[in-house]
Chain A
Amino acid sequence: MAAGVAAWLPFARAAAIGWMPVANCPMPLAPTEKNKRQDELIILNVSGRRFQTWRTTLERYPDTLLGSTEKEFFFNEDTKEYFFDRDPEVFRCILNFYRTGKLHYPRYECISAYDEELAFYGILPEIIGDCCYEEYKDRKRENAERLMDDNDSENNQEGSMPSLSFRQTMWRAFENPHTSTLALVFYYVTGFFIAVSVITNVVETVPCGTVPGNKELPCGERYAVAFFCLDTACVMIFTVEYLLRLFAAPSRYRFIRSVMSIIDVVAIMPYYIGLVMTNNEDVSGAFVTLRVFRVFRIFKFSRHSQGLRILGYTLKSCASELGFLLFSLTMAIIIFATVMFYAEKGSSASKFTSIPASFWYTIVTMTTLGYGDMVPKTIAGKIFGSICSLSGVLVIALPVPVIVSNFSRIYHQNQRADKRRAQKKARLARIRVAKTGSSNAYLHSKRNGLLNEALELTGSTEEEQHMTKGTSLIESQHHHLLHCLEKTTVSTNTIPPPRPGLCAWHGLPMDKVPTECSEVALGQAHPVPGVCQRGWF
């Protein structure tokens, strides 16, 4: 039952008097309200912004934080209000949910911040109203994709992974050419040979020079031996590469099924098949066909080019739009071909000999190519032909923006992924520095502690104050904790020295530390007053 309608329950109960004269048996007793409190205003103080509402409004949803007794944990006795140290902007939406029964998602709000607030107040995101649900789901999906990208790139760039088997190193080298110089060399060599192979295939067919007998010879036949050697070399490189990849693949079965490996196989098969069936007249026709497949070598470039991969991925993700385009085009082609055939049937010497023959005309007209080899001659034919070309423009133009927007989204996602990787590197570097800084701070404080004990014995107080004033309370408690852990696990009393050559507080090598560090020369860490090192791991 919706919360707002609960206000109408008294009405429904009163209207039940209409059943009474009709009833045959006595009615059950009504429940009595034991302690009927008068409705009171509650003050909710969220980070200084005061919200007020009736108590019954909040109690409409008893399984949330505000509706249950959980809010008593936040009750401030002195000011007689409930204080929450959270975002007041999002709280506005949350309170409106209690008032109206509908939860809205503000567009300007960050999705993860919003989710956190919802989780804090014990509200399920599934009850977001229809008006805002789509937006919420879209943003959430976007965010999830982004985080997934991050995780993927993180996994790919794990710093130094020791104990990688030879096979795993090879696989990593194949997938990521930037990991080692050998991989890079291999990458460029294969790229070069792919280019050579493709150019060879093209140049083979160019006519160069004549042979006595007035016949133009293509270069392939003139320099047959040279071309054959080139082809052999390329195919050998490709075969070696394929076999190496097959050996290094973590899952051979999956590798064989992957698209790239199929392309590899298709690219090198024609050569071997050609070797096997030599100069057999029957199958030479098929042999010529096989040479066409050599052009697939150009697809091997997709390993080298990001853009090609994106294009392929886009086409795959727009499969439904492409399917729709194809289907509607087919429908239109059949309709118009039929109409054109019957329209042109009357005219003499018409090229539209059958409906399939008219397909060619329809396709050429709809894509606005207009070769002009088939032209309608009757009036009806011309009318329908013009309608055909106009509708062709429309039908083709409609799904194209969808494909374009898909491509744009995927492309920008890739761009963003690169930017984020660079940002992540910088962030990791900063975190590393902070970690070394804090561990050195701990060591420093430990030494301070021991020095303090020594100082107490000698009774010198000024240096004591100088030593301890640099660390905050949280830090000293943290260091004490680490110290206790050490005492539990290690039985030795010695202080390990700080990392030689490195100033603990700045994380810089000694020569770059600013000159006011007077204790630098002593090789000791020095406190910087008032700075709380962010050492919480």
Chain B
Amino acid sequence: MNLEGLEMIGVLIVIVLFVKLLEQFGLIEAGLEDTVEDEMEMATVRHRPEALELLEAQSKFTKKELQILYRGFKNECPSGVVNEETFKEIYSQFFPQGDSTTYAHFLFNAFDTDHNGSVSFEDFVMGLSILLRGTVQEKLNWAFNLYDINKDGYITKEEMLDIMKAIYDMMGKCTYPVLKEDAPRQHVETFFQKMDKNKDGVVTIDEFIESCQKDENIMRSMQLFENVI
């Protein structure tokens, strides 16, 4: 049977429509199997924190302070854990003029001590306990941990540059005077000049703590947020 061009096309179209019809009736299974995966995602993660007394013993907050903290925490994250997206969203609401996602990412990693991708209330409380009620040593330790992105014990210039860029991004473009493009890099240079004692290009924890303790401004500003809660 010699079919001409158009006739062939016509027959092809009919066959395609027929196949689609069969698919609709479910007689032919076509397409990828991704229905099962969707169902798995429906079950959301829920997390209940440890008992109030336990948290009170572990952190330096009183019961009332923990209550206030938890109420605010649970209000914003009903499932009991903060994932990075929510964290970034919450943090960006405080800095509307710039882009705070990078810094929020670093902050998230600093709070997420067990590196499981989510910050539970315990992580949150422990972090805040250090920041608000800890000794200067502990605070500096925490800051070092924040800057050390790959947690290898050394702050390299690249890591510091990332952090600096993130902080400058948060400021946004509406600064006076307008910040120059290489301001972060210059800032990093100043920082390394101050902190890197043996000029080996990296800052260790001891160098860091020593240099900070020598600087009066830094010491004073560490006490700034004592009475936040």
Contacts and interface: CB of A to CB of B under 8 A. Distances in A.
Interface of A: 1-2, 4-5, 7-27, 29-30, 32-33, 38-39, 339, 342-343, 346, 378-380, 383-384, 387
Contacts of B142: 17-18
B225 A7 contact: no
B76 A8 contact: yes
Interface string B195-229: 00000000000001000100001101110110111
B179 interface: no
A22 B228 contact: no
A154 to B, nearest CB: 49
Pick the 7 closest A-B CB pairs, nearest first.
Answer: A7-B72, A383-B10, A14-B131, A380-B7, A27-B221, A380-B6, A20-B221
A379 B7 contact: yes
Contacts of A23: 217-218, 221
B153 to A, nearest CB: 17
A10 B128 CA distance: 9
Contacts of A16: 224-225
Contact of B228 (A1, A2, A13): A13
B52 interface: no
Interface stretch (B18-26, B27-35, B41-49, B86-94): B86-94
B217 A25 contact: yes
B216 to A, nearest CB: 8
Nearest to A101: B75
Contacts, number: 113
A13 B91 CA distance: 11
B189 to A, nearest CB: 12
A380 B8 CA distance: 8
Chain B residues touching A, majority SS = helix
B217 A387 contact: no
Contacts of B224: 16-17, 20, 27, 29-30
B94 A9 contact: yes
A8 B4 contact: no
Interface centre among A8, A10, A16, A39 (most CB of B within 10 A): A8
A33 B228 CA distance: 10
B151 interface: no
Given A13-B228, A25-B217, A380-B6, A18 B190 contact: no
Contacts of B81: none
Contacts of B225: 13-14, 16-17, 30
Given A1-B93, A14-B228, A26 B217 contact: yes
B93 A18 contact: no
A15 B104 CA distance: 10
A13 B163 CA distance: 18
Contacts of A379: 7, 10
A450 B13 CA distance: 101
Interface string B145-166: 0110000000000000001100
Contacts of B75: 4, 7
Nearest to A33: B227
B212 A21 contact: yes
A460 B228 CA distance: 79
Given A19-B167, A20-B224, 14 more contacts: A1-B93, A5-B90, A8-B90, A10-B229, A13-B225, A16-B224, A21-B218, A22-B164, A23-B217, A26-B221, A27-B224, A339-B6, A343-B7, A384-B10
29 contacts: A1-B93, A4-B75, A4-B76, A5-B93, A7-B71, A8-B73, A8-B94, A10-B228, A10-B229, A11-B128, A12-B91, A14-B131, A15-B107, A16-B224, A17-B139, A17-B222, A18-B110, A18-B146, A21-B143, A21-B147, A24-B187, A26-B221, A27-B221, A342-B6, A380-B4, A380-B7, A380-B9, A383-B10, A383-B11
Q: Chain B interface residue count: which class?
A: 35 or more
Contacts of B220: 26-27
Interface centre among A16, A22, A29 (most CB of B within 10 A): A22
Interface in B33-82: 64, 68-69, 71-73, 75-76
A30 B227 CA distance: 9
Chain A residues touching B, majority SS = helix
Contacts of B228: 10, 13-14
A21 B140 CA distance: 8
A343 B76 contact: no
Contacts of B190: 24
Contacts of A22: 163-164, 167, 187, 191
Contacts of B147: 21
A55 to B, nearest CB: 13
B128 A14 contact: yes
B164 A387 contact: no
A32 B227 contact: yes
B7 A378 contact: yes
A378 B10 CA distance: 11
Nearest to A384: B10
Interface centre among B72, B73, B187 (most CB of A within 10 A): B72
Contact of A11 (B9, B124, B167, B187): B124
Nearest to A10: B228
A384 B5 CA distance: 13
Contacts of A20: 143, 218, 221-222, 224
Contacts of B229: 10
Contacts of B132: 10, 14
Contacts of B128: 10-11, 14
Contacts of A13: 225, 228
Contacts of B187: 22, 24
Interface centre among A10, A21, A346, A384 (most CB of B within 10 A): A21
Contacts of B212: 21
Interface centre among B163, B190, B228 (most CB of A within 10 A): B228
A258 B81 CA distance: 66
B126 to A, nearest CB: 12
Contacts of B124: 11
A15 B94 CA distance: 12
B212 to A, nearest CB: 5
A380 B10 contact: yes
B93 A39 contact: no
Contacts of A8: 72-73, 76, 90, 94
